[in-house]
Structure 1
Amino acid sequence: MIGTTGVVTLAIGGGESLGEVELGLAGGTERFIAVAAEPIDVDATVLVIGVRPGRIVDVERWLPLPT
């Protein structure tokens, strides 16, 4: 799951504040509780950088490189 990108569905407050992300997995989508160091707003694209017990993922804002 680390390295997967997804979309924030419930804003993440930063620090240990919880939010929610939707990730594309196994041909479908699933929602996970998410934590990020910095606040991230709804509809932002994120990258999963860690996985915790209890369907919690650590994420950071994903900014694809310009082409």
Structure 2
Amino acid sequence: MQLIIELDIEATRQLEAIQDHTNQDSMLVIQQGISLYYQQLQPHRQFYIDTKKQYELIGSSAAITSSN
């Protein structure tokens, strides 16, 4: 996938600071940033899945109880 992005002044400054500190090109910095952001979202995703399963189980047991 090819993206063309326009950064504001602060994002540009931050990208340049990261590049100066790591000696990485902008493509690698952005790819790693996306990867880190994705990793941060995973615990939240799993929490959502677990919570949904709990509510489904509660709803199932309530339906079984009310039918008896």
Q: TM-score, normalised by structure 2?
A: 0.21
Q: Where is the helix percentage greater, Structure 1 or Structure 2?
A: 2
Q: Which has the higher contact order (CA 8 A, sep 6+)?
A: 1
